[in-house]
Homo-oligomer: A and B are copies of this chain.
Amino acid sequence: MAQKFVYFFGNGHAEGRADMKNLLGGKGANLAEMTSIGLPVPPGFTISTEVCTEFYKNDSNYPPTLADEVAVHLAQVEALMERKFGDPANPLLVSVRSGARASMPGMMDTVLNLGLNDITVQGIINQSGDERFAYDAYRRFVQMYSDVVMGMDKHLLEHLLEQKKDARGVHLDTDLSAGDWKDLVAAFKAQIKEELGVAFPEDPMDQLWGAIGAVFGSWMNQRAITYRRLNNIPAEWGTAVNVQSMVYGNMGDDCATGVAFTRDPSTGENYFYGEYLVNAQGEDVVAGIRTPQPINRAKATTLPPMEEVMPECYRQLDSIRTILETHYKDMQDIEFTIEKGKLFMLQTRNGKRTAPAAIKIAVDMVAEGLIDQRTAVKRVAPEQLDQLLHPSLDPKAVKNIIAKGLPASPGAVSGTVVFTADEAESEAKTGRKVILVRIETSPEDIHGMHAAQGILTARGGMTSHAAVVARGMGKCCVAGCGDIKVDYANQCFTTRGGVVVKKGDMITLDGTLGEVMLGAVPTVSAELTGDFGTLMAWVDGIRRLKVRTNADTPHDAKVARQFGAEGIGLCRTEHMFFDAERIAAVREMILADDIEGRELALAKILPMQKSDFIGLFREMKGLPVTIRLLDPPLHEFLPQEEKDIVELCKTMKVPVSALKHKIETLHEFNPMLGHRGCRLGITFPEIYNMQVTAIMEAACELVKNEGFSIVPEIMIPLIATVKELSVLKQNAVAICDVTIARYGVKVEYLIGTMIELPRAALTADEIAVEAEFFSFGTNDLTQTTFGLSRDDAGKFLPFYVDNNILPEDPFVSLDQNGVGKLVKMACELGRATRPNIKLGICGEHGGDPSSVIFCHKVGLDYVSCSPFRVPIARLAAAHAVLDEK
């Protein structure tokens, strides 16, 4: 038996099903499904995706049996419709549409009214009794077919149409008569012949095969190829072709066309939401020339709704709504047409929705018994939650966008512009809301970033200092805004468009879109509704991965706990060093010439660090807390600007030359690859000793005085060799044990390491001999694996992503092929040495859904991310479990 290539649907029977999307495309599969469940679908047939594959395999030839199969199925349609394709008296007209598994820009989309020619048009006049309708349909067909099938420049035909209207002295298409359209059909054909050198096909079968060929041909056009490459869609998938008998919403006032959602796609409310137009074709609803009317009075309306204008059809449509939801068990996006009082369904598919709608629909449908909790959880995309967790601009507000940058940290805020961290702090103290604008930020700006509502930087990428810190704080940030030029001297910035914004001017940032607006744009605040809580409880019941947070302060920790964090995966102790009262002691330590001097300065920092840790431990109430010892190079703590150097020397009472010499000595060509992380701990053991003392004293005091149960996790950064870790672990263990003995309490602790250098991942089996846990620092691991500085990548990384040299920014979504290979290897090697080793991730990727799913797959114990991304990570972790089925 020959392979079957064509699948019929019509009159309650279909050869296809909804789950045959791979073979029939999304559109064809759903047309078949709707037909099978008894919905009124104009009959037709689908030529399967396998034909497309065969076509390209065989040098653009169709399978030999195809023509016969199409003929047989066409005859079935003719029989049902009681019309004949190409028949002069009672012709059948069809639409031809492409239909891949996923909709694909660049593909040929639709040809309507196919089958018309100078003879069959008379048949349509007979059928409809409306000459103007028939010629209007005919000219639309010629325009559409010549454009998408023949490659005619459509503006040439539109130009003829404009000429005709001018000649007739009218403005609207609707003012043209049947005769005008008839003239235009002839004129169009002449122009096509002249332009393309071939005549417009008159034979309906030629037209049909032309359209089918155009669909298959468009599968390999450049735009489609590019789209597939960008979205990793294999060329072998192919497209299907749907041939369906035409129905008309524009044959009179008993005709209509419309689109609807089975629930409100913005809010998720459970009512029938849709629009329709009387006497119109589908394209008119979206064209925006006429204002579509609502289908019902679910929301207030002044326009007459369909439920009143065509009550019978509405009743039928409303019952179809229920049938579809019950059948598909999801909110549907449908298209329908009413021809002379008879309702036809042209399309159904799962409807797109906002984040709040997604959650409400999912939770409601569980309550309605339509779906189970696991399905509900799958219905919400983790990334969508981001919309919910931050305030956003009022969608109705007018926006005066003056610049665009990177959407570095979501949310929307307004404030007056300041240019220094100190100003931000002092202004904020007076209760003013400010936006801190910097060319780029450094750790010294932290207090200003804290004080500001939002941060705008001219330089730096999605993982620049400003972006990382802002996301950590859950603070709105637009980074790398190359559209602005910051002039500190004159306290202003100028946009590419020439707008000058001075200190004190009000601006608004949209960190979700990366937009900068002049003036204050109203915002609406986030609301974590009851549905959100319900859904997240289901999420937590499903996921295996724990979700921790990256938090440096009790405040961050508290926010993260509210978002459901189950511990701290990364506390960066250096951020505590920048506090105004501490930085002096830190600098004293750096400037000291000998170990005694350094220890003297460190002794001043010890009680402060200890109180930090007490605060964190208290906030986390016994949940695990991973504390990373000092990581950045020491020069980050010294000023770089002449003015600041002079000032500091005054305060510290040291000669300017001494400080300058120190700064020069500490200068590094590649600080990212320099004297930092555990290399500081090795060369200046007193620094880590102080930090470990502070951690253990904090833990011991809480255990002793407040009965806490704490297992501090001490994390040593930038390990490249097991030797580094064994030396530092030995020091740390000695201090821990002495401290514990001093307090006379029992406190357990873990000592582990970041895996953030390729060498650490490659030798993880050796490192696991010493490390009790690994935490993958995928920011630095990405930098070193790619040889890519995230601070400098702005010059070429956007070009790389735009040109698909990289599928996406590897600092945002983990590069699973390269960096991920190292992570996987390290997990396997680490577990081989120490089967119960604790594995986590604390890079920014810990809050990226696809990266979280990867982390689940390689078997990590937890991910850690910024507080505002904790719910996203929780949801992604649940998806990871559900994806396993």
Q: Which residues of A contact B (CB under 8 A)?
A: 668-675, 679, 682-683, 718, 720-721, 723-724, 727, 756-759, 762-763, 766, 780, 783-789, 791-792, 795-796, 799-800, 803-806, 815, 817-819, 821-822
Rounded to whole angstroms, the CA-CA distance of A669 and B669 in the bound complex is 8
Residue of B727, B756, B758, B817 touching A805 (CB-CB under 8 A): B727
Rounded to whole angstroms, the CA-CA distance of A787 and B789 in the bound complex is 11
Residue of B762, B792, B806 touching A669 (CB-CB under 8 A): B792
**7 pairs from A and B in contact (CB 8 Å cutoff):** A669-B789, A673-B783, A682-B800, A718-B787, A721-B818, A759-B786, A762-B821
Residue of B762, B792, B819 touching A673 (CB-CB under 8 A): B792
- Closest-by-CB residue of B relative to A680 is B796
Residue of B675, B762, B784, B818 touching A795 (CB-CB under 8 A): B675
Rounded to whole angstroms, the CA-CA distance of A721 and B792 in the bound complex is 18
B822 lies within 8 A of A670 (CB): no
B796 lies within 8 A of A721 (CB): no
B673 lies within 8 A of A759 (CB): no
Residues of B within 8 A of A819 (CB): 759
Known: A669-B671, A673-B670, A723-B804. A784 touches B758 (CB 8 A): yes
- Closest-by-CB residue of B relative to A805 is B723
Pick from A759, A780, A791, A800 the residue with the most CB of B within 10 Å. A759
Q: In the complex, how many angstroms separate the beta carbon of A266 from the nearest chain B beta carbon? A: 39
B799 lies within 8 A of A785 (CB): no
B670 lies within 8 A of A789 (CB): yes
Known: A683-B796, A758-B758, A799-B683. A669 touches B791 (CB 8 A): yes
Across the A-B interface, give the 9 residue pairs with the lowest CB-CB distance, nearest first: A673-B789, A670-B789, A759-B818, A758-B758, A757-B787, A674-B792, A669-B791, A670-B672, A670-B670
Q: In the complex, how many angstroms separate the beta carbon of A762 from the nearest chain B beta carbon? A: 5
B763 lies within 8 A of A817 (CB): yes
A785 lies within 8 A of B759 (CB): yes
A787 lies within 8 A of B723 (CB): no
A787 lies within 8 A of B673 (CB): yes
Rounded to whole angstroms, the CA-CA distance of A110 and B682 in the bound complex is 38
B784 lies within 8 A of A787 (CB): yes
A673 lies within 8 A of B673 (CB): yes
Rounded to whole angstroms, the CA-CA distance of A784 and B821 in the bound complex is 16
Known: A805-B727, A819-B759. A720 touches B787 (CB 8 A): yes
- Closest-by-CB residue of B relative to A795 is B675
Residue of B674, B724, B785, B800 touching A762 (CB-CB under 8 A): B785
- Closest-by-CB residue of B relative to A807 is B723
Residue of B670, B784, B817 touching A785 (CB-CB under 8 A): B784
- Closest-by-CB residue of B relative to A679 is B796
Q: In the complex, how many angstroms separate the beta carbon of A253 from the nearest chain B beta carbon? A: 57
Known: A683-B796, A784-B784. A721 touches B806 (CB 8 A): yes
B675 lies within 8 A of A672 (CB): no
Rounded to whole angstroms, the CA-CA distance of A789 and B785 in the bound complex is 14
Residues of B within 8 A of A792 (CB): 668-671, 673-675
Rounded to whole angstroms, the CA-CA distance of A800 and B796 in the bound complex is 35
Residue of B669, B721, B817 touching A672 (CB-CB under 8 A): B669
Residues of B within 8 A of A672 (CB): 669-670, 673, 787, 789
Rounded to whole angstroms, the CA-CA distance of A822 and B822 in the bound complex is 11
Q: In the complex, how many angstroms separate the beta carbon of A191 from the nearest chain B beta carbon? A: 39
Residues of B within 8 A of A756 (CB): 787
Residues of B within 8 A of A818 (CB): 720-721, 758-759, 762-763
Rounded to whole angstroms, the CA-CA distance of A788 and B676 in the bound complex is 10
B780 lies within 8 A of A787 (CB): yes
Q: In the complex, how many angstroms separate the beta carbon of A460 from the nearest chain B beta carbon? A: 10
Residues of B within 8 A of A806 (CB): 721, 723
Q: In the complex, how many angstroms separate the beta carbon of A868 from the nearest chain B beta carbon? A: 27
Rounded to whole angstroms, the CA-CA distance of A669 and B759 in the bound complex is 23
Rounded to whole angstroms, the CA-CA distance of A791 and B783 in the bound complex is 18
Rounded to whole angstroms, the CA-CA distance of A791 and B819 in the bound complex is 25
B805 lies within 8 A of A785 (CB): no
Besides A669-B791, A670-B791, 6 new A-B residue pairs in contact (Cβ under 8 A), listed by A number: A669-B792, A670-B672, A673-B787, A758-B784, A759-B815, A762-B818
Known: A673-B792, A806-B723. A758 touches B785 (CB 8 A): yes
A757 lies within 8 A of B786 (CB): yes
Residues of B within 8 A of A791 (CB): 668-670
- Closest-by-CB residue of B relative to A460 is B669
Rounded to whole angstroms, the CA-CA distance of A783 and B766 in the bound complex is 20
Q: In the complex, how many angstroms separate the beta carbon of A494 from the nearest chain B beta carbon? A: 15
Rounded to whole angstroms, the CA-CA distance of A780 and B784 in the bound complex is 10
Residues of B within 8 A of A668 (CB): 789, 791-792
B786 lies within 8 A of A720 (CB): yes
B758 lies within 8 A of A788 (CB): no
Rounded to whole angstroms, the CA-CA distance of A119 and B763 in the bound complex is 63
Q: In the complex, how many angstroms separate the beta carbon of A74 from the nearest chain B beta carbon? A: 45
Residues of B within 8 A of A727 (CB): 803, 805
B720 lies within 8 A of A788 (CB): yes
Q: In the complex, how many angstroms separate the beta carbon of A458 from the nearest chain B beta carbon? A: 12
- Closest-by-CB residue of B relative to A667 is B792
Pick from A762, A795, A800, A822 the residue with the most CB of B within 10 Å. A762
Residues of B within 8 A of A821 (CB): 762-763
Q: In the complex, how many angstroms separate the beta carbon of A463 from the nearest chain B beta carbon? A: 13
Rounded to whole angstroms, the CA-CA distance of A803 and B728 in the bound complex is 13
Rounded to whole angstroms, the CA-CA distance of A780 and B670 in the bound complex is 13
Q: In the complex, how many angstroms separate the beta carbon of A92 from the nearest chain B beta carbon? A: 49
Residues of B within 8 A of A795 (CB): 674-675, 683
- Closest-by-CB residue of B relative to A672 is B670
Residues of B within 8 A of A804 (CB): 723
Q: In the complex, how many angstroms separate the beta carbon of A685 from the nearest chain B beta carbon? A: 11
Q: In the complex, how many angstroms separate the beta carbon of A640 from the nearest chain B beta carbon? A: 12
Rounded to whole angstroms, the CA-CA distance of A884 and B32 in the bound complex is 69
Residues of B within 8 A of A766 (CB): 817
Q: In the complex, how many angstroms separate the beta carbon of A775 from the nearest chain B beta carbon? A: 16
Residues of B within 8 A of A788 (CB): 673, 720
Rounded to whole angstroms, the CA-CA distance of A788 and B671 in the bound complex is 9
Q: In the complex, how many angstroms separate the beta carbon of A633 from the nearest chain B beta carbon? A: 9
Rounded to whole angstroms, the CA-CA distance of A150 and B783 in the bound complex is 57
Rounded to whole angstroms, the CA-CA distance of A822 and B760 in the bound complex is 12
Rounded to whole angstroms, the CA-CA distance of A792 and B669 in the bound complex is 6
Rounded to whole angstroms, the CA-CA distance of A786 and B670 in the bound complex is 13
Residues of B within 8 A of A805 (CB): 682, 721, 723-724, 727
B673 lies within 8 A of A822 (CB): no
Residue of B682, B723, B803 touching A799 (CB-CB under 8 A): B682
Q: In the complex, how many angstroms separate the beta carbon of A4 from the nearest chain B beta carbon? A: 37
- Closest-by-CB residue of B relative to A677 is B787
- Closest-by-CB residue of B relative to A719 is B787
Residues of B within 8 A of A682 (CB): 796, 799-800, 803, 805
Residues of B within 8 A of A785 (CB): 757-759, 762, 784
Q: In the complex, how many angstroms separate the beta carbon of A756 from the nearest chain B beta carbon? A: 8
Pick from A670, A786, A795, A817 the residue with the most CB of B within 10 Å. A670
Residues of B within 8 A of A822 (CB): 758, 762
Rounded to whole angstroms, the CA-CA distance of A541 and B789 in the bound complex is 46
Pick from A673, A783, A784 the residue with the most CB of B within 10 Å. A673
Q: In the complex, how many angstroms separate the beta carbon of A459 from the nearest chain B beta carbon? A: 10
Q: In the complex, how many angstroms separate the beta carbon of A438 from the nearest chain B beta carbon? A: 15
Rounded to whole angstroms, the CA-CA distance of A791 and B667 in the bound complex is 11
Rounded to whole angstroms, the CA-CA distance of A682 and B804 in the bound complex is 12
- Closest-by-CB residue of B relative to A673 is B789
Rounded to whole angstroms, the CA-CA distance of A720 and B762 in the bound complex is 18
Rounded to whole angstroms, the CA-CA distance of A792 and B682 in the bound complex is 16
Rounded to whole angstroms, the CA-CA distance of A815 and B766 in the bound complex is 14
- Closest-by-CB residue of B relative to A757 is B787
- Closest-by-CB residue of B relative to A766 is B817
Pick from A758, A766, A791 the residue with the most CB of B within 10 Å. A758
